[in-house]
């Protein structure tokens, strides 16, 4: 079974708490949550849209992705990547809900976590390292797991490289 992972970055803790409540309503209880860390030290990419002082956390949900429903409808029993597309679209709706003047105040990056890999959903295409899973969504394998070791790639985001131990050991 696969666990839903959502990385959340923001600058306003109250906004984070409100967003987290919405995520729990949609996806169920949280299994594990990382400590907040400065995201600004890893990139300035989001500064123009979201400002400075960005903080990031990882949240892993208890309910396996296979049992998550959206809009009170079960997600069809199909591939994990199809479910990831639907979850990405749902989290994008939530980002818009918390936006101000067309700018995101919170960024939600969903993915799935298995004993073998961590894969994120992205709207940004890659060259040869992302798999196109719909017209708009790409699957980006960020980490691979072998035993208690997390293996990174040249395209693994720097913060995932630094925080990789957080993800080890999930099945």
pLDDT of 167 reads 94
Q: Where are the domains of the chain?
A: 3-167
pLDDT at 83: 85
Q: Are 57 and 109 in contact (CB under 8 A)?
A: no
The candidate with the shortest Cα–Cα distance to 118, out of 158, 91, 151, 90, is: 151
- Distance separating alpha carbons of residues 35 and 59, to the nearest angstrom: 10
- pLDDT confidence of residue 35: 96
Report the predicted TM-score, pTM, of the whole model to 2 decimal places: 0.91
Q: How far apart are CA 157 and CA 162, in angstroms?
A: 9
pLDDT the model gives residue 72:
53
What is the pLDDT at residue 131?
86
Strand partners, 70: 73
Place of tokens 């400065």: 38
For the chain, 171 residues long, give each residue's pLDDT as a single digit of tens: 789 999 999 999 999 999 999 999 999 999 999 999 999 999 989 988 999 999 999 999 998 887 777 665 555 545 777 788 889 999 999 999 999 998 999 999 999 999 999 999 999 887 788 888 888 898 999 999 998 899 999 999 999 999 999 999 866
Contact call for residues 6 and 65 (beta carbons, < 8 A): no
Token pair 């998550």 is found at 68
Instruction: Give residue 1's pLDDT.
Output: 76
Q: How many CB atoms lie within 10 A of CB 18?
A: 15
Integer Cα distance of 79 and 97 in angstroms: 28
């Amino acid at each position: 079974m696969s666990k839903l992972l959502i990385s959340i970055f923001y600058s306003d803790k109250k906004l984070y708490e409100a967003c987290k409540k919405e995520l729990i309503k949609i996806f169920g209880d949280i299994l594990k949550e990382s400590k907040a860390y400065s995201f600004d030290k890893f990139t300035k990419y989001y500064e123009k849209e979201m400002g400075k002082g960005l903080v990031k956390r990882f949240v892993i949900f208890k309910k396996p992705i296979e049992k998550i429903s959206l809009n009170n409808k079960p997600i069809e029993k199909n591939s994990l990547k199809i479910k990831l597309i639907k979850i990405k679209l749902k989290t994008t709706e939530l980002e818009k809900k918390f936006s101000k003047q067309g700018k995101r105040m919170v960024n939600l990056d969903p993915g799935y976590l298995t004993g073998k890999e961590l894969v994120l959903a992205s709207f940004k295409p890659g060259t040869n390292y992302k798999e196109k899973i719909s017209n708009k969504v790409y699957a980006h394998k960020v980490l691979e797991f072998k035993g208690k070791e997390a293996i990174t790639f040249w395209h693994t985001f720097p913060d995932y490289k630094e925080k990789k131990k957080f993800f080890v050991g999930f099945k």
